[in-house]
Amino acid sequence: MPSNKILLIHPLGYAADKARGDVSRMANIMPPLGLASLAAVLDRERIPSHIIDCYCHPASEALILDYIRTQVPGFVGFSCTTSSFLDGLRIAALVKAENPDIRIVFGGPHVSALRESLMEAFEPIDYLIVGEGETALTELLTVDTAKVGQIPGLVYRSSSGKIVFTGFRKKLLNLDTLPFPAYDKLAGYPHAYKLPIFNYPRVPNASCISSRGCPYTCSYCDRSVFRRSFRYNSAEYLFAHMEYLHKTFNIRHINFYDDQFTFHRERVAALCRKIINRGLNITFNCAARAEHLDPDLLRLMKAAGCWMISLGIETGDPDLLARHRQNPDLEMLRHKVMMIQKTGIRIKALLMMGLPGETEASIRKSRDYVFSLPVDDINLAKFTPFPGSPVYEDIKSSGSLMGTFEEDWEKMDCMNFSFIPRQMTIERLDELFIDFYRTHFMRFPVLLGYLSMIWKSPDSWRRMLADLSGFLTFAKRNKRMKE
């Protein structure tokens, strides 16, 4: 049986020489927590693994080839988003050219959404893992090749060349049974990774995911990996995880990237009480739906060190919101924003521009609504119809009725308008996008808030000044685009 040693790769998504000019990398480099979780499970099973994160370390191609030549793994695995998939495929072709016997495995949201069609289109791939990967990958690395058809959650080519999907796994993981991610396998961790600028008070800091899935069915969200399931770590496990990060890596702030951190209220309340009672000197951010926040919980979160909450607003146009989000209540959202502000927790509004049905009028409504709220920061994304989301299927099936869609995977990263709603042009969308951000940053309360970051988040200002030339180049490029 070939070696079960595996090299796990997180692709950059584009040419390495462009990394220094990527403003999104300057602002945020998140560790590949999915790969780190896979590696931790493989360690537990005594299966050798190694991680190379090309997004954090762009000049990694030589490292990959050197590892292939010297360590001769039996497998190379890739975790890909839509925008990084083709870069992963390019690296896979290099691996196959170096050693054709190495088997190539792909996983991640793009794979889970498109499954067999990817296997049909791209020759270098030997296996696709659909859904969460810990159990499926472990089984793939330990069973005889003739038995891979018995592994749920796998797409493969049979001996006759037929592409087979073995079906979704019925038994999902209890997340408390997982070891903590293998952070030590991420080169330079934690200092090589960066949370978004002005989104943390202290360093070193870390990213963490404490739940999987989402019970909601908003049009724009890809649910192909975890489908309709929602599972979460217990307060006991989560406190132990935070304590481990603090003691092992001196982590002083954590950003929870869960879609629904506060969905199970008692879990969060129990965690906060543990942090307070045990005196864990750590602060944290989280994302939440407004429906799952109340004054008592917010006061407890604040006392436990909650520094900022990211709140999904998406758009301030009520009609557009009703088309795409469950419970589209802007007055409820306003009430919850005021509630968070009263508690003293920072607020980041998560927004999108360019949803199907978007018009200049809806963008103006959205801007007026958001600017009427006491939010400290915004993240305005360029709407992207990701495979696996309901709106992706609607756009694909409607032809040009909803707008024009250029399905260029490398550009589908929420930094480009790949979908243009009817009555809009890409040039006008870009103008309105730039104007939205510029107006936000020029408002006096916002300027005052960023000025206060000199003492509230001094490392953010250090990073801003260190990368000033890159941010200015990005700003000039956008200004020329508008002109």
Could you please state the CATH topology (level 3) that the domain comprising 195-482 is classified under: pyruvate-formate lyase- activating enzyme (3.80.30)
Report the candidate in 213, 231, 41 with the shortest Cα–Cα distance to residue 140.
41
* Bond into 124 cis (ω within 30): no
Q: How far is CA 418 from CA 185, 383, 406, 409, in A?
A: 35, 8, 5, 9
CATH code for the domain defined by 6-165: 3.40.50.2300
Question: What pLDDT is recorded for position 325?
Answer: 87
Residue with tokens 């924003």, as numbered in its chain: 337
Element (H, E) at 128: strand 127-129
pLDDT on residue 482 = 46
**Is the Cα torsion angle 37, 53, 191, 465 positive or negative in sign?**
negative
Residue 51 Cα distances to 48, 77, 106, angstroms: 11, 9, 14
> pTM of this prediction?
0.94
What is the pLDDT at residue 117? 94
* Separation of alpha carbons 474 and 471, rounded Å: 5
What is the SS3 assignment for 295?
Answer: helix
Specify the pLDDT at position 473: 59
Q: Which two tokens stand for residue 479?
A: 């200004």
Contact between 325 and 218 (Cβ < 8 Å): yes
Alpha-carbon dihedral sign for residues 368, 372, 377, 378: negative
> Residue 310's closest CA among 364, 388, 256?
256
Task: Please provide the DSSP assignment of 23-82 as one string.
Answer: HHHHH-B---HHHHHHHHHHHHTT--EEEEETTTSS--HHHHHHHHHHH--SEEEEE--T
Q: Domain ranges in the chain?
A: 6-165, 195-482
Same fold, 6-165 and 195-482: no
Rounded to whole angstroms, the maximal C-alpha distance in the chain is 67
Residue 472 makes CB contacts below 8 A (sequence gap 6+) with none
pLDDT < 50 regions, the chain: 481-483
DSSP-derived secondary structure for 225-271: TTTT-EEE--HHHHHHHHHHHHHHH---EEEE--TTTTSSHHHHHHH
| Residue with tokens 């906060």, as numbered in its chain | 272
Q: CA angle, 272 as apex, 268 and 274 as ends, to 5°?
A: 120
Q: Tell me the C-alpha distance between 245 and 280, whole Å.
A: 11
